[in-house]
Each structure stands twice: as C-alpha cells, then as structure tokens.
Chain A
Amino acid sequence: MSTIVSTFFALFKRELKTAMRTRVYYLITVGVIGLLLALTAGGGGAATGYVPTVVDLLLPLEVLVPVLAIAIGYRSVVSDLERGELAVLKTYDVPSSVYVFAIYAGRAVVLSVILGSGLLATLLLVSFSSGPDTSIFATHTGLDSPLLFARFIVLTLVFALALLAIVLLMSVAAQSTLTAIALAVGAVVLVVVAGDAAIILGLTDGWIAEADLLNALAIAPNSAYRGAVFETVIAVTAASESGYGSPITSVAGLFAWTIFSLISATLILHRRTV
C-alpha cells in the first residue's frame, strides 16, 4: 500500500473513530429518524405509497439536508487548524489533497449514515403502512415502488454530499470555529436561495432561454436535486408528465459542486499551510 493510500486511510479511520465516539451524532441520528417518521406519518403519504411520501418529504429535506451538512461539516477542518494539528500533520508530510479528501470521506460516511438511517426508517414505515401494490419491485412506468424510493434516497445522499463539500470548503477558509459556522450558513444559503433566485431571474430577464432551463436547473444544488427527484421518481408514476429536469445534467451538476469545492478546499489549505 503506497504512502498516500495508507495516509488517506489513517486519516479516514480517525474521522470515523472520532464520529463513533461523539454522542451528539447519535442524538442527531435519532432526531433525524424521528423527524422524518413524523413528517411521513403526518403528511399522510405513508398510507398511500412511496411516491406520495417522496412528495411529502422533498421540501422538508431541502431544508434539513443543508442543516445536517452544516452541523457535520462546519468544524471538520477549522478545528484541526485551531488546534495546530495541521501544523503537526505537515511534519509528517501529509499532502493537503489527501487530508481534505480523507476528512471529506469520513464526514461523508457520517452524514450518509445519519440521513440514510432516517430515510430507510421512512421506507420501512411506508412498506408496513401502505397498500399491497407498493410491495411490487418489478417496476415500470406508472407504478409506485420501493425502488423509486431507493432512487430518492440515492439522489438525496448525492445532494447532501455536494452540500457537505461546500461546507468543508468554508471550514478550510474560516479563521475560527465561529467564522466557520457563519461562512457555512452563508455559503449554503447563497447556493440554495441565490441559485434558485438566479434561475428565476434569468428566465424573467431572458438571459436564460426556456430551452436551456433544464440545464440551468442543474447549476444550483437545490434545483438540480429537485429536478432529478421530479424527473426520476415522481414523474415515473405520471407517464404523461415529464421534463422537470435533466437527471444526468442534474447529477453531473451536483458532482461538479462536490469536486469544485474539494479542489478549492485543497488549494486554499495548501496556501494556508504553505
């Protein structure tokens, strides 16, 4: 195993161990499961099927996912910078890129487990409380299915991981834990709210042509997520309606945010630690 690979895994394992010994993550997990089950039960979608549940959860998740990404990621790098731990790691010749990607990978697992637990609990609730037709796995257009919900889970995780990368970038740029949380909130609000607002403005002002709308939706993380969910989950049960978004472009947009943020974080960290 090369030094870079072993260094990556040493840092990655340390992140996971740290998370496993942090009680607040367990409380967050319980809270997320409780909240998603309450929303599912309260929205009435659970009794109807998987896709109605997706409709119930989509908007709350557009708020919950950024909050979770901030909670899990805002201290990820700035704490090590404040503690002087990065200065120490530098004497072990740990490259900035390996450090950033390992920390991200560790936090990504934590976020995926927390969010995935909530969504899997929701899946189970729906499977126990909805009608018999929702247990059919061999899906085709027009039929509700747990596979559609699984697709929703995957898209939600891709969305969450893109936001986590943005939050990690802010954590690298911050001078202190307090500024890290302010920057993370600011950045997430900017990409979430300003992204949607820019697309609406672009359409009304005419600098985004109607024909380019589907691609434009992929630029902002929230609209990319929303478009992909509508197109690949919700629209499937309504065969005549589609064109809410371009799934491939939307997912590519979310990956682009992730990669751009991680590369930027690496460059900034390299500059900060010389």
Chain B
Amino acid sequence: MSKQQSTNTRPAATSQEAVLRATDLTKQYSELTVLDSIDLTVHAGSVTALIGPNGTGKTTLLRLLLGHLEPTAGNVEYAGPAVERPIGYLPQQPAFRPHFTVEETISFYASLLETPTDTKELLTQVDLYDVRNRPVEALSGGMTRLLGIAQSVVGNPPAVIFDEPASGLDPTMGTKAFEITAQLAERGTAVIVSSHDLALVERYADTVILLHDKQIAAQGPPQQLCQTHSVADLWEVYDAVTATETPQTNTEVTQ
C-alpha cells in the first residue's frame, strides 16, 4: 500500500492538520481514576503511538477517543473533514463471523456505507486478495489481524485507531501491521496505535505518548525522547520514565 499505489479518494487532510483533539480528559470508575487530565492532539499524516505499562489506561484512552466511552471530565473533538466514517477501529482481538470468506467479510462492512469501496484494492493492500475466498476460520492470527486492518480503513476514515495491532503476531506479521500504519499515514490518515512492541514503535511512530500513573508522562518523537533522557532507545526511555518519574515530573517534548 505505497503512496504511489494508493487511490485514496477521501477529502484531503493537510498533513499536520489536527484530526482528533482531547482536552483535559479524565476517566473515573467510581473512586478509581484511570486517566487524569489528558491533553493530546492527533495530526493527519502521522502515526501516534500510545505506550505504557499494562493497566495505565491505553485501551480506555482509545475508547474515549472513539467516543465509545463517556469521559468523566474533559472532551474529545473530531476536527477532521466531514465524512461518512470519521474514525476507523481495529480492536485488540478482531473477530469476524467464522464461516464468512475474507471477501464476504469486507463486503459486509462496505455495505454499511454509502461511499463505494473497492474491496479488491483494499484486500490487495493488505495482501489478502489471493485468499479472498478463504473462510475467516481458516485464516492465521496474522491474516485475521490484516483483515481487521482492512476493515478499519473501509470508507477511508481520516483517523484510524489500532489497539495493539502487533500483539501475538510473529515478527514478520507484526512488522507488516506497522508498515501498513506508516503507509496509511503517508496517505494523510491520522493513525493512533497502542503497542507494547517498543522496537516497532520507535521505527514507525512519528509521535510517542507514554502513559504512566494515569497521565502522559512523556510525549514526543522517539528520537527526541531518547535525546531528552540521554538514552539509546525507546525501551530505555520507557524504563527510565516508568521506574523513576511521577506524573508531576512530566517530560514534554515539543515537535
């Protein structure tokens, strides 16, 4: 799905144009605060990676951005172009009707939109066109994830949210999933991805948001985060921030 191959027809979102904006976002469950005063902006044409230890609210933040969860305080604003499907979503464990073929699955989702979808092109982009007649139950975990990615971009949404697209996949498939996120960003899509694979995040993300202790503990391009913390790679940034820093000593790196 290179820039040259793409026949993207969605309204152009100028690169670095804000597509999603979260302001003072807080989520509490009874007395438990999961996220506290999160401010973030997701730009068109970039990959924003959300990292952090388990239980720091990554999935909660993604659900808030999707509008699937009501914030306790603050708000999420979609600032992208007016389209039929503003945000696409890949759940952590995408699951489909097992007896449906790959092509039937994508055709079903395409039929939910008025905007026509070229299913052949879509499946070719994620390397599933050759197995289009295979039932979903006969796909490998990696192929199912790729089908999930194809589903997430049906209708060319200006923003897509991927919840751990590489988890449980072999290195080749994990890399493939991240390559697609980068290619989507090249086309101008705002991609938000949560992941525990820091090597892939460092390689493909334009902006990294490190969640720790309910807040954004560090934010910026991977290289700048490394420079700021005087470390060699993102893993060491992660280690340094989650081991020593508290939310009061946030590291904010401006792009």
Residues of A within 8 A of B (CB): 3, 6-7, 10, 14, 17-18, 21-22, 83-85, 87-94, 273-274
Alpha-carbon gap, A14 to B100, bound state (A)? 9
Of the candidates B68, B84, B94, B97, the one whose C-beta lies within 8 Å of that of A273 is: B68
Residues of B within 8 A of A (CB): 63, 66-70, 84-85, 87-89, 91-97, 99-100, 104, 108-109, 111-114, 151-152, 154-155, 157
Beyond A92-B113, A273-B68, is A87–B89 a contact (Cβ under 8 Å)?
Answer: yes
Residue of A nearest to B148 (CB): A88
Given contacts A87-B91, A92-B85, 13 further A-B contacts (CB under 8 A): A7-B112, A14-B97, A14-B108, A17-B99, A21-B100, A22-B99, A83-B95, A84-B91, A84-B92, A88-B91, A92-B155, A93-B84, A274-B70
Contact B99 A21, beta carbon cutoff 8 Å: yes
Of the candidates B67, B94, B114, the one whose C-beta lies within 8 Å of that of A3 is: B114
Instruction: Give the chain B neighbours of A90 by CB distance below 8 A.
Output: 66-68
Q: For the complex of A and B, list the 8 residue pairs with the smallest distance between their C-beta atoms, beginning with the closest.
A: A84-B91, A83-B95, A21-B99, A92-B112, A10-B111, A91-B89, A18-B97, A274-B70
- Closest-CB distance, B204 to chain A (whole angstroms): 23
Of the candidates B63, B97, B151, the one whose C-beta lies within 8 Å of that of A88 is: B151
Contact A91 B99, beta carbon cutoff 8 Å: no
Instruction: Give the chain A neighbours of B104 by CB distance below 8 A.
Output: 17
Instruction: Give the chain A neighbours of B66 by CB distance below 8 A.
Output: 87, 90-91
Contact B69 A274, beta carbon cutoff 8 Å: yes
Contact A274 B151, beta carbon cutoff 8 Å: no
Alpha-carbon gap, A269 to B114, bound state (A)? 24
Instruction: Give the chain B neighbours of A92 by CB distance below 8 A.
Output: 85, 109, 112-113, 154-155
Instruction: Give the chain B neighbours of A14 by CB distance below 8 A.
Output: 97, 100, 108
Instruction: Give the chain B neighbours of A273 by CB distance below 8 A.
Output: 68
- Closest-CB distance, A116 to chain B (whole angstroms): 23
Instruction: Give the chain B neighbours of A91 by CB distance below 8 A.
Output: 66, 85, 87-89, 157
Residue of B nearest to A92 (CB): B112
- Closest-CB distance, B74 to chain A (whole angstroms): 15
Contact A87 B94, beta carbon cutoff 8 Å: no
Contact A84 B94, beta carbon cutoff 8 Å: yes
- Closest-CB distance, B230 to chain A (whole angstroms): 40
Alpha-carbon gap, A21 to B101, bound state (A)? 12
Most buried by B among A21, A89, A91, A94: A91
| 6 contacting pairs across A/B (C-beta < 8 A) | A6-B111, A7-B112, A84-B92, A88-B152, A90-B66, A273-B68
Alpha-carbon gap, A3 to B100, bound state (A)? 23
Alpha-carbon gap, A17 to B100, bound state (A)? 8
- Closest-CB distance, B27 to chain A (whole angstroms): 12
Residue of A nearest to B105 (CB): A14
Alpha-carbon gap, A85 to B157, bound state (A)? 18
- Closest-CB distance, A117 to chain B (whole angstroms): 21
Contact A10 B112, beta carbon cutoff 8 Å: yes
Of the candidates A21, A89, A274, the one whose C-beta lies within 8 Å of that of B67 is: A274
Residue of A nearest to B86 (CB): A91
Instruction: Give the chain B neighbours of A21 by CB distance below 8 A.
Output: 99-100
- Closest-CB distance, A81 to chain B (whole angstroms): 11
Contact A87 B68, beta carbon cutoff 8 Å: yes
- Closest-CB distance, B85 to chain A (whole angstroms): 6
Alpha-carbon gap, A204 to B182, bound state (A)? 73
Contact A89 B94, beta carbon cutoff 8 Å: no
Of the candidates B63, B88, B95, B100, the one whose C-beta lies within 8 Å of that of A85 is: B95
Residue of B nearest to A7 (CB): B112
Alpha-carbon gap, A30 to B34, bound state (A)? 52
- Closest-CB distance, A247 to chain B (whole angstroms): 40
